[in-house]
Amino acid sequence: MKLLKLSLMVLVLAIFAMTGMAQAGTLQEVQDKGFVQAGVNGGVFGFSMPDEKGIWKGIDADTARAVAAAVFGDANKVKFVALTAVQRLPALQSKEIDILCRNTTQTLTRETTNGLNFVHVNYYDGQGFLIPKKLGIKSAKELDGATVCVLPGTTTEMNAADFFRSNSMKWKPVVIEQTAELSKAFFGGRCDCLTSDVSQLAAHRSVAPNPDDYILLPEIISKEPLAPVVRHGDDQWYDIVNWTVMALIEAEEFGITSKNVDEMLKSKNPQIQRFLGVTPGMGKALGLDEKWAYNIIKQVGNYGEIFERTVGVNTPLGLERGLNELWTKGGIMYAAPLR
Amino acid sequence: MEALSANIKEDLKPPRVNIGIIGWVRANLFNGVFNSILTIVMLFLLWKTIPPLLQWAFIDSTWLAGSASCRQSPEGACWSIISKNFRFIIFGFYPYELQWRPLVAMIILFSLLFYSRNRNNWKKSLGYAWITGLILMGILMKGGLLGLKSVETTQWGGLPLTLLLAVFGLTAAYPLGVVLALGRQSKMKGVKVLSILYIELIRGVPLISLLFMSSIIFPLFLPEGITINKILRAQVAIILFTAAYIAEVVRGGLQGMTQGQYEAAEALGLNYYLTLRLVILPQALKIVIPPTVSILISAFKDTSLVVIIALFDLLKTTQSVLSNPEWMGFSREAYMFIAILYFAGCFSMSNYSRKLERELSRG
């Protein structure tokens, strides 16, 4: 018994000693191992999904690449690991990953009880309804008595229930586990409307036999600010990831793109000079190279470029900028000044 | 001459309706009212289902063109989802230009398996061949040696990953299962209790929960900064799980041995180890070949459960292709394709076990 107690104590001490050693800070750890480990979804087109060559594509994947570009000056020094919805938070807590870019909605409980910090939002999503045009409905308020196709166990289902209850309407949910089956059921006519995040509805619509026969209703019934996530308690790393996202947005506002970034180095605008590290200071403040923002834009592009090539109007998703347009153009993408 | 031919004529043949095809049909398909009705109904069902299936799968189908032309001819199968994404489905994230390496590794594995089919080849040299082959496969997959570029295990995926989980899972689980079965029969109290505890605990939970434990809860217990490879964690979970089931099957075989076998071995002066090796296990394991194989087959299929912990095995790479808007909706074709692959694996296993049974009962 004594032996058991003693060995237990040694074990506990050893674990404490090891945790003590591992307090170096995420930036240091990342630099030591030579790459950023990013958790992504793996199955959401436009956000993070492998293409037919196994290369990760999407707005979340590119955000992670931008962090790698800021830290290493090389956007390819990032390793992706696909995570399920249940795995994603423990993976971050157990330090298996350094950042989580997995279309995760920022909520109060996730930031507090789960010990996480969300950085600046990289996509504003919201839940909507997709209906066949022939239903002849103009507003979601007219959906009384409708059968609704929905994925189970997500906030989507609860949001829909809340929406119908608060408008005192009746609804019949048709719960279907698999995304592919969900769209099949909807286009097969099993339900009057399909509800999900708007970005997802766009993906569903793009595979319809005739996409023009379906429309999105104007009501957005939930707020889904999707943002990259880091652990609590490492402010320097939080700053780096946060300002990486800000830099993407700021660059678009300045009109700096991956194509003209080299010319912009000669710009007379002091804001741009600070941004690109011509006037030093910003990089040092973050603990990074002065060229950090230059590297991001040169290798990954600004927010608008990323948006257009992953989810924009010329992709199968065909999403409008909407809320994700710059604040100067009617959206709410607004970066704090880099100074 | 004439008499001879007359003799032959006298040899009466059975009525034509009792032999040949007609005879077989009468004896097997129409030997009673009920069976006749059943045959006609089945023929009708086959006639209704097979031609449309063939039409769908082979005649109206699209094999190589893009998804746009698939959507234009929705009445046929769209096999282009396989042909266009073939390399991602099979190899997952393995770097595109290095995919010859897992291919060679799989060829080595298959040729070793094929060569080991014949029991006459079971010699010491085969053991060395396996060891060399495994090391070679490891080097090919991992790289970092002999001028091969290093490839992280996180980038392994597709069919090589499925085979890795299956082959290593089964080969490691089998000996572990035998040891556990012996432990459960042991006269030593401690060993016995531990074995029973292990077997019952593991058999008492579904594989999914073990995989969840290994991938989500286990890392939280580790000291910060230490992470254990995701594939290894899943692999260990599969081994532990399968071993518990094999242990119970092997125990059945051990119980089938009469006391006389043990006594005879003792009379010959054999010790415990030799008794098991020369007398008990060869007989006991032979009895339980059929149930063992059915466990191995189900374990092979169970490897696809790693989907829930987001390892990109064959099933997950396929699902990932299906969530691309370009290919969404062609799930029938994609799932049929991997069903065929899994069937090929399972069928050859059960086929081999039947062959092994025949050979062993003859010898």
Q: Which residue of A has its CA nearest to B72?
A: A209
Token pair, residue A238, equals: 């939080």
- On whether any CB of chain A is under 8 Å from the CB of B87, the answer is yes
All residues of chain B having their beta carbon less than 8 Å from the beta carbon of residue A317 are: 325
Q: Which residue of B has its CA nearest to A29?
A: B225
- Model pLDDT, residue A124: 94
For residue B177, how many other CB atoms are within 10 A of its CB? Answer: 24
The answer on pLDDT for B19 being more than 80 is no
Looking at chain B, the whole-number percentage of residues with pLDDT higher than 90 is 21
Over chain B, what is the mean pLDDT?
85
Averaged pLDDT for residues B290-296: 88
Are the Cβ atoms of A90 and B308 closer than 8 angstroms?
A: no
The shortest C-alpha distance from A86 to chain B (Å) reads: 8
- On whether any CB of chain A is under 8 Å from the CB of B319, the answer is yes
Per-residue pLDDT tens over the stretch A50-79: 888 888 999 999 999 999 999 999 999 999
The answer on pLDDT for A335 being more than 50 is yes
Averaged pLDDT for residues B241-249: 93
> Using 50, 70 and 90 to split pLDDT, how confident is the model at A20?
very low
Per-residue pLDDT tens over the stretch A264-289: 999 999 999 999 999 999 999 999 99
Over chain A, what is the mean pLDDT?
87
Q: Is B134 within the bounds of a domain?
A: no
Nearest neighbour of A79 by CB, restricted to B152, B215, B310: B152
Are the Cβ atoms of A180 and B328 closer than 8 angstroms?
A: yes
Looking at chain B, the whole-number percentage of residues with pLDDT higher than 70 is 96
Per-residue pLDDT tens over the stretch A292-318: 999 999 999 999 999 999 999 888 888
- Model pLDDT, residue B214: 85
Averaged pLDDT for residues A257-264: 94
The shortest C-alpha distance from A189 to chain B (Å) reads: 15
- Model pLDDT, residue A5: 58
Are the Cβ atoms of A94 and B309 closer than 8 angstroms?
A: no
- On whether any CB of chain A is under 8 Å from the CB of B230, the answer is yes
- Model pLDDT, residue A27: 92
Q: Is B18 within the bounds of a domain?
A: no
Please tell me the distance from the alpha carbon of residue B90 to that of residue A122, in angstroms, as a whole number: 33
Nearest neighbour of A49 by CB, restricted to B92, B222, B320: B320
Per-residue pLDDT tens over the stretch B94-122: 888 888 999 999 999 999 888 888 878 77
- Model pLDDT, residue A153: 61
Averaged pLDDT for residues A201-217: 82
pTM: predicted TM-score of the whole model, two decimal places: 0.80
Are the Cβ atoms of A53 and B325 closer than 8 angstroms?
A: no
Candidates B73, B78, B93, B321: best to mutate against A (most CBs of A within 10 A) is B93
Averaged pLDDT for residues A234-243: 94
Averaged pLDDT for residues A144-155: 82
- Model pLDDT, residue A267: 92
Q: Do domains A11-124+225-329 and A127-222 have the same CATH topology?
A: yes
Whole-angstrom CA distances from B242 to B179, B203, B295 are 13, 9, 8
Are the Cβ atoms of B225 and A50 closer than 8 angstroms?
A: no
- Model pLDDT, residue B10: 66
Residue B249 near residue B293, CB atoms below 8 Å = no
The shortest C-alpha distance from B31 to chain A (Å) reads: 45
Averaged pLDDT for residues A77-98: 86
- Model pLDDT, residue B57: 86
Identify which of B351, B363, B178 has the alpha carbon closest to the alpha carbon of residue B252. Answer: B178
Are the Cβ atoms of A45 and B222 closer than 8 angstroms?
A: no
Q: Is B139 within the bounds of a domain?
A: no
Q: Which residue of B has its CA nearest to A186?
A: B329
- Model pLDDT, residue A11: 53
Please tell me the distance from the alpha carbon of residue A56 to that of residue A58, in angstroms, as a whole number: 7
Whole-angstrom CA distances from A185 to A176, A188, A196 are 8, 5, 14
* Domain around B346: 72-94+151-362
- Model pLDDT, residue A265: 93
Q: Where are the alpha helices (DSSP H) in A73-107?
A: 85-93
> Using 50, 70 and 90 to split pLDDT, how confident is the model at A325?
very high
Q: Is B129 within the bounds of a domain?
A: no
Mark out chain A residues that contact chain B at CB-CB < 8 A.
Answer: 15, 18-19, 21-22, 29, 42-45, 49-55, 79-84, 86-87, 90-91, 93-96, 179-181, 183-184, 203-204, 206-207, 209, 316-317
Residue A212 near residue A89, CB atoms below 8 Å = no
Asked if the A11-124+225-329 domain carries CATH number 3.30.110.60, the reply is no
Candidates A29, A96, A182: best to mutate against B (most CBs of B within 10 A) is A96
Q: Is B195 within the bounds of a domain?
A: yes
Q: Which one is predicted more confidently, A260 or B127? A: A260
Averaged pLDDT for residues B284-293: 88
Q: Which one is predicted more confidently, A297 or B143? A: A297
Are the Cβ atoms of B84 and A316 closer than 8 angstroms?
A: no
- Model pLDDT, residue B47: 92
Superfamily of domain A127-222, CATH level 4: Periplasmic binding protein-like II (3.40.190.10)
Please tell me the distance from the alpha carbon of residue A309 to that of residue A257, in angstroms, as a whole number: 13
Averaged pLDDT for residues B256-274: 89
The count of domains in chain B is: 1
Are the Cβ atoms of A94 and B324 closer than 8 angstroms?
A: no
- Model pLDDT, residue A279: 92
- The total number of residues shown for chain B amounts to 363
Nearest neighbour of B227 by CB, restricted to A45, A95, A317: A95
A vs B: CB pairs below 8 A: 108
The answer on pLDDT for B249 being more than 80 is yes
> Using 50, 70 and 90 to split pLDDT, how confident is the model at B220?
confident
Q: Is B191 within the bounds of a domain?
A: yes
Residue B59 near residue B75, CB atoms below 8 Å = no
The shortest C-alpha distance from B45 to chain A (Å) reads: 26
Q: Is B47 within the bounds of a domain?
A: no
Nearest neighbour of B319 by CB, restricted to A43, A86, A316: A43
For residue B72, how many other CB atoms are within 10 A of its CB? Answer: 9
Q: Is B295 within the bounds of a domain?
A: yes
Taking each helix axis as running N to C, give the angle between helix B158-185 and helix B230-255, from 0 to 180 degrees, rounded to the nearest 10.
40
Going from N- to C-terminal start, the domains of chain A cover 11-124+225-329, 127-222
Taking each helix axis as running N to C, give the angle between helix B124-142 and helix B100-116, from 0 to 180 degrees, rounded to the nearest 10.
170
Are the Cβ atoms of B152 and A96 closer than 8 angstroms?
A: no
